[in-house]
A = this chain, B = another copy of it.
């Protein structure tokens, strides 16, 4: 998987997440509750709520794009409170990721990635992708999915995986 394919996978998966949110809206309508209740839902009292899981998934994609391309990451303050605002956040994120083209990622795997939380140490771009961005991105989208499932939204593996480029012959 090239760094560009990883960014495309993040964008595809955030598109899947928007479809899970559509299902949550339908489910709330059917069961006569306000879908925004789910923004506060969490699986444990000391864990992130749905809103923060979506914000964190977006940030993993945004920072991966920025660090791997050596571009500054745009600031996306965590102010979202509603499903519609979360959709805007996803769109801002995927719009930024889309500005990173394959050519911007030449040498990305050898790039020094030194996020502030590494306290002066660094990871190669390749290691950042393998050990941090990919596991962490899928952590937060799966937690968002798990919170919806736990609250009775009907979702299955097909919605999680989304489209597959399967071929005939």
Which residues of A approach B to under 8 Å, CB–CB?
1, 5-6, 9, 12-13, 43-44, 47, 118, 120-124, 126-127, 129-132, 134-136, 138-139, 142-143, 145-146, 149-150, 152, 157, 160-162, 164-168
In the complex, how many angstroms separate the beta carbon of A162 from the nearest chain B beta carbon?
A: 8
In the complex, how many angstroms separate the beta carbon of A27 from the nearest chain B beta carbon?
A: 12
Q: A123-B166, A166-B118, A167-B122 are in contact. Are A142 and B131 (CB under 8 A)?
A: no
Q: Which of B44, B123, B143, B157 contacts A165 (CB 8 A)?
A: B123
Residues of B contacting A150 in the complex (Cβ-Cβ under 8 angstroms)? 43-44, 150
Q: Which of B122, B142, B164 contacts A138 (CB 8 A)?
A: B142
Considering the complex, give the chain B residue whose CB is closest to the CB of A145: B139
In the complex, how many angstroms separate the beta carbon of A117 from the nearest chain B beta carbon?
A: 10
Asked whether, in the complex, the Cβ of B44 is within 8 Å of the Cβ of A43, the reply is: no
A146, B53: Cα distance in complex, Å: 13
Given A118-B166, A124-B167, A127-B164, list of 19 further CB < 8 A pairs?
A: A1-B129, A1-B130, A5-B126, A9-B131, A9-B135, A43-B43, A43-B149, A43-B150, A44-B150, A122-B167, A123-B165, A123-B167, A132-B161, A134-B134, A134-B138, A135-B138, A135-B161, A142-B142, A146-B146
